[in-house]
Structure 1
Amino acid sequence: MVSTPMSSASIVQKPAAVVFRLAAKWWLCNYILSSQRLNRK
């Protein structure tokens, strides 16, 4: 039971990092698109 927190933490951290990267890319894409739309106006 002592080793389970470490393994569970690593298993949880990996997907969280992937989701965070995807969210960062999605936010950057939206930010660039919004900035381009404002510049076009």
Structure 2
Amino acid sequence: MVEQTRGGGGLNVVFKAGRELRPWRNEPLVRDVHDRMMALMTNS
């Protein structure tokens, strides 16, 4: 949903979750989430 609407509130939630996932950044699933977050930033 955030990818489609680019709503500011949704982006804040997504990036807050990303910060909270930092301790697990080397886990494959968390790396995938981080990659999608970066894609959101570059496709804006």
Pair in the same fold by TM > 0.5: no
Give the structure-2-normalised TM-score. Answer: 0.39
> Structure with the greater relative contact order (CA < 8 A, sep ≥ 6): 1 or 2?
2
